[in-house]
A and B are shown apart, each in its own frame.
Chain A
Amino acid sequence: MATHKSDNEREMLRELADGSESAFVWIFDAYSPRVYRLALKFLNSPHAAEEVVQDVFMDVWLGRKKMADVLNFGAYLHGMAKKQVYDAYRRKSNFLEMVREIGYQEQSDNATERMVYEDERERLLQDAIRSLPEHQREIFQLAREEGLTHEAIAERMNLSRLAVKAHMKRILRFIRTRLEPVLKAETLFWLLIFTTK
């Protein structure tokens, strides 16, 4: 019965908002097939589709506190899936493989100011990198300094592609939080810049 299903779903979303891993697994199992199917249809690659599923549901998990307030979870999820599929489609067509790198878009015209902030930013960035767990630091450095692709990092570190991607996502999130002081101090904002290799 449809109402029964949605009652159950509401309950699961509430539990998810409280941090229940089993509720998350339930939601994942209930909804990942449609995300996967959509991604597979438009990306034509099981690997890319798996990454989309991981990205979408990682956002669900990281944003779980909000989930109890989502009225139509199916629609909400479709919105997220749409964005990720679209991003993945463009990336795939644009570049053979992408490395996500922390970069920034310069907004300040004042050269001195810019240098001060760049120094500060670099300092915070280095701090942030230092406080990463060792293997995440290694992943980050391989991506940033050696410009390695996810695939190459996965191979180098003997991890799966998906695991590298998940790590990158966490690393970037972590670094962004650490850099917030600089981000707030000025209008300089950071973007995830895709560089090609």
Chain B
Amino acid sequence: MSADNDTNAPNDFNQSGTERFDFLMARYLAGDASDPEKEELHQLTENGYAPRFGEWLDAHADTDSTEMALPGKARDEILTNILGAARPKTRRMPAWWSWAAAILLALGGLMWLTLKNNQSAPMNVTRTDSPPPKDDLQVAKGKQFLILPDGSSVLMNERAELTYSPASFQNGSREVTLQGEAYFDIAHDPSKPFRVKSGAVVTRVLGTAFNVNMLENKVVVTVARGLVEVGSTHHVYAKIRPDEQITVDTRTQQYNTASVSAIEETAWKDAYLVFDNIDLEKAGQLIGEHYGVKLAFTRAEIKKCRITASFLHHENLDTVLTVLSKMIGATYTIENGNVSIEGGSCD
């Protein structure tokens, strides 16, 4: 009897079993196992070798020579799946938003909001399920970036007009009426679908990003993220997914769907400089590309601060940097096309 066998092995059967298990596992991980071998490995795992399986997992825990990132699409979706529905019903505006909104407004001219009471509701403000008081309607006109009471954001293109009732948002009905073109990024709330009405066409979503363009005789909806349902008030025409587009002829109610590039279809919105919950490092790159400057941060840790803000593309660099610096409590200097962001913190 040799004494140099595995100390943990209670008997010969298990010992040879462990060897067999290790042999099969090595082949399996190398991608060399045949189907019968895979089946055998599985059987062993089910029959007493679960701890050994665990040891193999441990052995591979930190041999991260080749860390592999999740595909970006999966990352975004998983984050949406996890965080999306976790938001409280009355979504607290993220701190950055209130910051950004306050500063942007204070700076004036950076974005303009045309909100006015609309006593005589325009023709296309069709009835809602629970009709809000008419005098409550807000109308936003023209190119602007707007945050709705539920935290959803709307980037409106030139000549667009958006009508909604803040009061009915409070009551949980998320509905807006759009003329022209706008890009929506909707706060996820599975219990309250968000509806965009464009004439007789209704776009219904739970939490997603999409573009609606209402033209003279048609409505075109393009999805950037999530799933969007397009229909009339009575029935659904189609559900469309990212990089799909539906065009509805508003005269005939005929529609067709097509595969498109959402990025290209919504390129108009990139005339804006939009930071949508990205880290400062990335924001710095975007600013750099946009204005042809180089940004550096004196404190490396602030590169990981995440920010949300938007600017019109023709805004001057000083304004953008002022806002950004205020958001993180930093200062900045510009010298020969080199911007240095000094100090600051993520708090």
Contacts and interface: CB of A to CB of B under 8 A. Distances in A.
A185 to B, nearest CB: 29
Contact of A37 (B46, B67, B75, B304): B67
Interface SS of A by simple majority: helix
Interface SS of B by simple majority: helix
Interface of B: 29, 31, 38-39, 42, 45-46, 50, 53-54, 56-58, 60-62, 64, 66-71, 74-75, 77-79, 81-83, 85-86, 94, 190-191, 206, 227, 239, 241, 277, 301, 304, 306
Contacts of A93: 38-39, 42, 45
Interface string A129-167: 000010110000000000000000000001110110110
Contact of B277 (A25, A41, A50): A25
28 contacts: A8-B301, A21-B83, A21-B94, A26-B306, A28-B79, A29-B75, A32-B70, A32-B75, A32-B78, A34-B61, A37-B66, A38-B60, A41-B60, A42-B56, A46-B74, A53-B78, A54-B81, A57-B78, A58-B82, A61-B82, A61-B83, A86-B54, A89-B45, A158-B241, A162-B81, A163-B81, A166-B78, A166-B81
A26 B58 CA distance: 24
Interface in A13-35: 21-22, 24-26, 28-29, 32-34
Given A32-B75, A33-B67, A33-B68, A24 B53 contact: no
Contacts of A136: 190
Given A25-B277, A135-B190, A50 B301 contact: no
A58 B81 contact: yes
Interface in A33-49: 33-34, 36-38, 40-42, 44, 46
A8 B304 contact: yes
Contact of A26 (B66, B191, B304): B304
A85 interface: yes
Contacts of A121: none
A26 B67 CA distance: 16
Contacts of B191: 133
B323 to A, nearest CB: 18
A36 B83 CA distance: 19
Nearest to A21: B83
Contacts of A165: 81
Nearest to A35: B70
Contact of B77 (A40, A57, A135, A162): A162
B83 A158 contact: no
A90 B46 contact: yes
A114 interface: no
A44 B31 contact: yes
B90 to A, nearest CB: 15
Contacts of B239: 158
Nearest 5 pairs of A and B residues by beta carbon? A166-B81, A93-B42, A22-B306, A33-B67, A158-B239
A170 interface: yes
Nearest to B240: A158
Contacts of B206: 135
